[in-house]
Amino acid sequence: MRSVSLLQRRLEELGIATVSICNQPEVSEKVCVPRAVFIQYPFGRMLGDVGDRAGQRAVCDDMCAHLEAADGPNAYRHLSHEWPEPPEETQWHPLTPAPMHVLRNNGTAPKGLGHYQDEERPDLS
C-alpha cells in the first residue's frame, strides 16, 4: 500500500493528475498523496466483488467524482460502501503464503520496517 502511494506522488510530480483508492487510510495519509478515496473492502477486490459490475462501477464513479472535485493536495474522502460479508469471513490471503509472510509466520522476518529502504526518502524531500 505504501508503494502505490509513493508511485502516485511521483506520477503527480511528473505532471499527471492522479487519484487512488485505499483500504488502509493511515498509509495514504502518512505518505501524503494528492487525492485518495478510502474504502472498507478487502485486499484484491477493492472495487467490489466478482461479477458485481454495478457495485464496482459505483466505486469507480466515486473515484471519478473525487478526481474532479478535489481542489488541493491531501484530498481524502471516506466512502460508505459496505462489503456484504463480515471481515472474519472474507477471504483475501493467497492460498500459498507470500515469501515475506512465510518469514513472519516462522518468526524470522525483519522487525518493523527494517526491510523497507526508506532511510533516505529523496522521494519525499
Partner 1 sequence: MSPITEVDGYVYYPGSKKRIGAMRPADPARTPWTPLGKPLSECKVTLVSTAGIFMKGDVSFDYEREWREPHWGDPTHREIPKTAAQDDCEYSHLHINTEYLQKDRNTAFPVDIFLDYEREGKIGALADTLYSTMGYTPNFHPLMKKTAPLMAEKMHSEGVDAAFLIPV
Binders in 38-57 for partner 1, by CB under 8 A: 38-40, 42-51, 53, 56-57
Residue linked to cell 525483519: 110
Q: How many CB atoms lie within 10 A of CB 18?
A: 17
Site for partner 1 (CB under 8 A): which residue of 14, 84, 106, 107?
A: 14
Residues 86-125 that bind partner 1 (CB under 8 A): 87, 90-96, 98-104, 109-110, 112-113, 115-118, 120-125
Site for partner 1 (CB under 8 A): which residue of 82, 84, 89, 106?
A: 82
Euclidean distance between CA atoms 15 and 9, whole angstroms: 10
**Does 85 help bind partner 1 (rule: CB under 8 A)?**
no
Q: How many residues bind partner 1 (CB under 8 A)?
A: 90
Residue linked to cell 454495478: 54
Phi, psi of 76 (to 5 degrees): -120, 140
Site for partner 1 (CB under 8 A): which residue of 62, 63, 85, 107?
A: 63
**Does 31 help bind partner 1 (rule: CB under 8 A)?**
yes
Q: Is residue 38 helix, strand or coil?
A: strand
Cell digits of residue 77: 474522502
Euclidean distance between CA atoms 93 and 105, whole angstroms: 13
**Does 64 help bind partner 1 (rule: CB under 8 A)?**
yes
**Does 62 help bind partner 1 (rule: CB under 8 A)?**
no
